[in-house]
Structure 1
Amino acid sequence: MSLDERFNAAAEKIKTFTKRPTDEELLTLYALFKQASFGDNTTPKPGMLDLKAKAKWDFWNKQKGKSQDAAKQEYIEYVEKLSASYL
């Protein structure tokens, strides 16, 4: 199975979780997914009053410089780790 196929399978696996991951786990998943899919964050930073968007932006921005393939691999491993708790 190729890296892209494993990445897509991991993204689908999250939808089968029976419990909701913590906010920090969800933000980490979001950041790794965005880095794997789009690369470095080049969007403008949201205003300080939009707390949800700011948190997502901050988590994605922490991934800056990580290659898309490395982010895909890390995403796959993180989903597998979370699966033990949420499936």
Structure 2
Amino acid sequence: MSLTEQFNAAAEKVKSLTKRPSDDEFLELYALFKQATVGDNETSKPGLLDLKAKAKWEAWGKQKGKSTDVAQKEYIAFAEGLVAKYA
């Protein structure tokens, strides 16, 4: 199975969690997913009052410079940990 196939499989597994991960875990998962699929965050910073969007933007920004392959590998490992913890 290729890295991309493993990444897609991990993304599908995360959708079937029976318990809700913490907000920090969601942010980490989101940031790794965005870095793996889009690359570096080049979007403008959200407004000061949009706290959810700002948290997501900042989490993604912390992944800057990480290659697609590295982000996919980290996402797979993190997702597997969440599945083991919350499935």
What range describes the TM-score normalised by the shorter chain of this pair?
A: over 0.9
Q: How far apart are residue 70 of structure 1 and its match?
A: 0.3
Amino acid at match of 2:82: L
Q: How does 1:35-46 map to 2 (within 5 A)?
A: 35-46=35-46
Counterpart residue number, 1:53: 53
Amino acid at match of 2:44: P
Separation in structure 1 between the aligned mates of residue 73 and residue 17 of structure 2, nearest angstrom = 20
Separation in structure 2 between the aligned mates of residue 26 and residue 36 of structure 1, nearest angstrom = 15
- Runs of 4 or more, structure 1, over 4 Å off, are none
Counterpart residue number, 2:19: 19
Question: Identity rate of aligned residues, in percent?
Answer: 68
Segments of 5+ residues of structure 1 without an aligned counterpart are none
Q: State the TM-score, normalizing by the size of structure 1.
A: 0.98
Aligned positions, number: 87
Segments of 5+ residues of structure 2 without an aligned counterpart are none
Separation in structure 2 between the aligned mates of residue 25 and residue 74 of structure 1, nearest angstrom = 13
Amino acid at match of 1:53: A
Instruction: Spell out, residue by residue over 1:6-51, the C-alpha distance to the aligned partner (whole angstroms, 9 max, x if none).
Output: 0000000011100010000000000000000000000000011000
Separation in structure 2 between the aligned mates of residue 48 and residue 32 of structure 1, nearest angstrom = 23
Q: How far apart are residue 85 of structure 1 and its match?
A: 1.1
